[in-house]
Structure 1
Amino acid sequence: MIRISTYMMFQNGQQAIGNSQSQLMSTELQLATGRQINSPSDNPVGAANVASLSTTVSELSQFKSNQGAAQLQLNLADSTMSNFVNLVQDVQQRLVQAGDASYSDTQRAALAQGLQGDLNQMVGLANTSDGQGGYLFAGSQQSAAPFSQTGNSVTYGGDSTLQSIQVSQNRQLQIKFSGDDLFQKIRPGNGSFVSAANAGNTGTGVIDAGSVTNPSALTGHSYTISFAVSGSATTYQVQDTTTSATVASGNYTSPTSISFAGQQVAVSGAPAGGDTFTVAPAPYQSIFTTVANAIAALQQPAQAPAANAQLQIALGSALSSSSQAMDHLTLKQAEIGNQLQQLNSYSTLNDDRTLQTTSALSLIQDVDYAKAASQMAQQQTIYQAALQSYSAVSKLSLFNYL
């Protein structure tokens, strides 16, 4: 026979009440917080998984916020570049109009005023704010507008640092740009070399922008094309100003294509004896300088034949340089568009991963309310039974039987 002492019965009763109460309170806490795990002791392995998944969700949330900021900046940059391209198209249309031989100096001056407006708007767009106290096209120099304008001279005060933001675990996306790269690092002329007339030319010779016929033969040297007139005969000579060597020569009749060192230019009109033209590698030239040069050319009287020839050369140079600028700007705009496409892809991936991670976190952490409510009802019944049982046992005494 097993003897159970009164002390053991009391201890067992108290333990049963304590266990039932603890389980009931745990279930009540789960229902109150909506979580299965409220302390690491509830489920050590599950708690570790919850901590890891919560960190991932927090990172994904930050990436989502960064993607929103990047979307705003890139949309603004894309819109600004679109407006800038429209202005360049307007410049080209005015330059074509200015080439009309029937236009007077007054009409060309009116076109110059239109170009002045275009130039001012370009500078304004290049100084577009990012909406957060900085500038889109200043690089990392965000305290002041990147471009300053004095008359028609435009200078860049930003830098070439490209600002990026992290939009995924392994991807930084550029959201701000260097105005120097966008608006200044443009090759004028035909993109390889530029042709020009000597300001002292007295004839009506006009040189075009030229073209590259053999890229492998380009030397990077500068050349001078000079003309000589003897009676009714006109000849030309091309001299490499770097080596002082004569690289081409011949008789001239209008028009004539002159080829040398992998490049070709066409000269038309009637150059005077001693007139010269230059052909040199194209340096970087900003779109602002291109427009400013066109304005200056249109403001000059051009009724005299020699002056008109200078004007036609200047307009041809401005048109070819603006075409180079258009190609450059549309390429940069396409790069921004490509970044927007990448951002949309990263945003979709981020949303998918967030959904997967939060679903996995919910399976581990979130409580099943129906199951927990049923469990609490059972635990309350067990707890009440433990209390009643302990109450009954506690009243037992030998004196009741004496």
Structure 2
Amino acid sequence: MRISTAQMFNQSINSVLDRQTSTSKILDQLSSGKRVNTAGDDPVAAIGIDNLNQQNALVDQFMKNIDYANNRLSLTESKLGSAETLTGSVREQVLRAINGGLSDSERQMIADELRGTLEELLAVANTKDESGNFMFAGYETGKQPFAFDASGNVVYSGDSGARDAIVGSGVTVATNIPGDKAFMNAPSGLGDFSANYLSTQVGDFNVQSASIADPLTYVEDTYTFTMVGTNLEVRDSSAALVTTVPAFDATNPVSFNGIEVKLQGQPAAGDSFSITPQSEVSIFDTINQAISLVEDSSKVDTPQGMSELAQILNNLDSGVNQISIARGQAGNSLKSVESYSATHTEEKLVNSSALSLLEDLDYASAITELEKQQLALNAVSSVFSQVGSTTLFDYI
């Protein structure tokens, strides 16, 4: 077989170029520290590397969301803790004020303290985060959620929205507690109604509970209870007689129209009170009622004042419990977020280890291979220089 000079020249050129390519590839790997720089280096490993990088990018986004949620929930839990302390102190202040031995000026000082506590609580409820958004406004983060109206009552302008953060695949965690859920909609201390007492009250009694016992037969209305002799009459808002309990005994509940009412103590003949449907109370309204009671010296040590006090204390306890529950929910969410953070940290560690196995370069092997390729390149180049200069005329 005859080999032409051109063929031999081309083969030598290709050998030199192949060796140069192999050497250049190893140099690229050494400079980057990666065994796989392009899909062509290892197609199978490149697919795995791409998948792992995508997973790590998703985990990074989850971690950012978790940081956001953690900051909001930590601040929420802290503020609700402050609110819990403030509302808890109101009970002590009210009990201290309803003391017959205090003068009007001393009671007024306590009322002023209660008013200051109310304003502090309002400031907590209107807390802003570092971005200037109201924390307890639901979705209405740009609007102040709580404010006094013309009557001096606190009204809520936010909504019940919970802002979620995605902290895992298909997993969301609420990053806020809506203001109505924390401060406005506490269960009534009596059940489903509020009681209204008269200044003419003589007997030492108060409504212990008033709830809807049978929703199917329940008739919504305002009902008035009056002791007529030893009998208890119940009338509706139109003054129509609903029921009469002969020889009324306060140890037995009164049942009518799907409602059950329990009294503590015994009304005297002629005593009257009413109940109005109210299943939820606001901690702000309860504190306002406490202030009004403390400032009204005519009610101190009276049966009416003691009955109103019992209802206020029940509603205060319910309001404190509502804030405690909201704080517990924030704490549980915070605990859940921290758990997902630990899970993602571990996941990224596993992914990074797998990624290192697929793409990281073994420097010792790479340097050995570089030396081999350089030796081969030098040999090929030497042969090519000799073959390239050989002609038949050298032997003639």
TM-score normalised by length of structure 1: 0.89
1:259 aligns with 2:253: yes
1:170 aligns with 2:166: no
CA distances 1:202-249 after superposition (whole Å, capped 9, x unpaired): 243344241369945883644311134xxxx66532335589344343
Aligned 8 A contact 2:190 2:211 in 1? no
Q: Structure 1 residues 126, 172: closer, same or farther in 2, change over 3 A?
A: same
Paired residue for 2:240? 244
1:313 aligns with 2:307: yes
CA distances 1:133-162 after superposition (whole Å, capped 9, x unpaired): 212111111213211234742111111221
Paired residue for 2:86? 87
Task: Tell me the percent identity.
Answer: 26
Please list, as runs of the form range in 1=range in 2, the aligned pairs for 1:1-400 lying within 5 A after superposition: 2-150=1-149, 152-198=152-198, 201-211=199-209, 215-216=213-214, 219=218, 221=220, 222-228=222-228, 235-241=231-237, 244-251=240-247, 256-257=250-251, 259-261=253-255, 262-268=260-266, 273=270, 275-302=271-298, 308-400=302-394
Q: Residue 297 of structure 2: SS of its match in structure 1?
A: coil
Aligned 8 A contact 1:130 1:136 in 2? yes
Q: Partner amino acid for 1:393?
A: V
Measure, in 1, the Cα distance between the counterparts of 2:112 and 2:211. Answer: 37
Measure, in 2, the Cα distance between the counterparts of 1:239 and 1:164. Answer: 49
Measure, in 1, the Cα distance between the counterparts of 2:210 and 2:148. Answer: 35
RMSD: 2.5
Aligned 8 A contact 1:196 1:207 in 2? no
Aligned 8 A contact 2:26 2:366 in 1? yes
Q: Partner amino acid for 1:399?
A: F
Q: Residue 137 of structure 1: SS of its match in structure 2?
A: coil
Measure, in 2, the Cα distance between the counterparts of 1:9 and 1:183. Answer: 92
Q: Structure 1 residues 158, 213: closer, same or farther in 2, change over 3 A?
A: closer
Q: Partner amino acid for 1:16?
A: S
Measure, in 2, the Cα distance between the counterparts of 1:123 and 1:220. Answer: 36
Q: Structure 1 residues 324, 191: closer, same or farther in 2, change over 3 A?
A: farther
Q: Partner amino acid for 1:311?
A: G
Q: Structure 1 residues 382, 220: closer, same or farther in 2, change over 3 A?
A: farther
Q: Which runs of 5+ in 2 are unaligned?
A: none
- Deviation of 1:69 after TM superposition, in Å, equals 0.9
Q: Residue 186 of structure 2: SS of its match in structure 1?
A: coil
Measure, in 2, the Cα distance between the counterparts of 1:349 and 1:372. Answer: 36
Aligned 8 A contact 1:213 1:263 in 2? yes
Measure, in 2, the Cα distance between the counterparts of 1:195 and 1:112. Answer: 23
Higher mean alpha-carbon deviation, 386-395 vs 61-70, is at: 386-395
Q: Which runs of 5+ in 1 are unaligned?
A: none
CA distances 1:352-400 after superposition (whole Å, capped 9, x unpaired): 1111122222222222222222221221111122111211211222222
Q: Structure 1 residues 196, 243: closer, same or farther in 2, change over 3 A?
A: closer
Measure, in 2, the Cα distance between the counterparts of 1:248 and 1:97. Answer: 39
- Deviation of 1:4 after TM superposition, in Å, equals 2.6
Q: Structure 1 residues 191, 386: closer, same or farther in 2, change over 3 A?
A: farther
Measure, in 1, the Cα distance between the counterparts of 2:49 and 2:97. Answer: 71
Q: Partner amino acid for 1:319?
A: L
- Deviation of 1:289 after TM superposition, in Å, equals 0.6
Aligned 8 A contact 1:226 1:236 in 2? yes
Q: Structure 1 residues 160, 303: closer, same or farther in 2, change over 3 A?
A: closer
